[in-house]
């Protein structure tokens, strides 16, 4: 992996080595860095565009990937099962690797500002078979506010939340987490 890359990652809990799937996803981002990197970009990309750019690499390493926002294109993970084993509650997820038990979410501007990071962390708690979550956020998200450019350090803020959750004695997270900054 290149030291010149702006794509970075952190894994939790920090007492265990990163899983192989984390390195594979980071490499997918690095192979499309020219298209998805947020550092230096004047305006942020939409999460769907970032997911579309890395989708071929994700599929190649075994992920199922959401292909659109219409009901028949969404990728859903069950939360509860009811009569006849039918899922009664499901949550959408951007990608899932069945063999690795790995869910993946790509967030953009709403990652921090609209609390999508918190939603993703909580939904992963209850999704069936999610043993590891890879949460991908912009290193920095730029937007205009009152005529000036504002830069949100989404990756750094997401890593701070992960450190608090995975490092605190009051919380026992049931899955591993990788935060990828693109």
pLDDT in tens, 78-124: 999 999 999 999 999 999 999 999 999 999 876 777 899 999 999 99
| Cα 97-99-103 angle, rounded to 5 deg | 30
Mean pLDDT of 66-85: 90
pLDDT band at 126, cuts 50/70/90? very high
Measure Cα distances from 174 to 16, 22, 123, 124, 166 in Å. Answer: 14, 17, 12, 9, 10
Residue 127: pLDDT over 70: yes
Mean pLDDT of 14-30: 97
Axis crossing angle, helix 47-60 with helix 20-31, rounded to the nearest 10: 120
The SS3 assignment for 20 reads helix
Residue 23: pLDDT over 80: yes
Q: Write out pLDDT tens, residues 165-175.
A: 999 999 999 99
Radius of gyration over alpha carbons of the chain, in Å? 16
**Contacts made by residues 126-129, CB under 8 angstroms, sequence distance 24+:** 126/79, 126/91, 127/77, 127/78, 127/79, 127/91, 127/93, 127/103, 128/77, 128/78, 128/79, 129/77, 129/98, 129/101
Mean pLDDT of 21-33: 97
Tell me what pLDDT residue 100 has.
Answer: 98
Tell me what pLDDT residue 2 has.
Answer: 53
Tell me what pLDDT residue 1 has.
Answer: 46
What's the pTM value of the predicted model, to 2 decimals?
0.92
Tell me what pLDDT residue 11 has.
Answer: 98
Residue 152: pLDDT over 60: yes
Tell me what pLDDT residue 141 has.
Answer: 87
């Amino acid at each position: 992996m290149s030291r010149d890359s702006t794509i970075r990652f952190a894994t939790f809990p920090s007492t265990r080595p990163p899983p192989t799937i984390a390195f594979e996803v980071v490499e997918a981002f690095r192979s499309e860095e020219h298209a998805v990197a947020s550092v230096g970009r004047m305006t942020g990309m939409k999460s769907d565009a970032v997911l579309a750019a890395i989708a071929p690499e994700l599929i190649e390493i075994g992920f199922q990937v959401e292909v659109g926002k219409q009901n028949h294109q969404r990728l859903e993970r069950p939360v509860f099962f009811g009569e006849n084993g039918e899922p009664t509650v499901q949550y959408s997820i951007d990608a899932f690797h069945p063999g690795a038990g790995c869910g993946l979410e790509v967030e953009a501007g709403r990652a921090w500002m609209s609390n999508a990071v918190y939603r993703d962390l909580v939904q992963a708690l209850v999704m069936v078979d999610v043993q590891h979550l890879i949460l991908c956020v912009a290193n920095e998200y730029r937007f205009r506010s009152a005529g000036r450019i504002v830069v949100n350090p989404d990756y750094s803020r997401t890593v701070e939340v992960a450190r608090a959750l995975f490092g605190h004695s009051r919380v026992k997270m049931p899955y591993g987490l990788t935060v990828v900054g693109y």
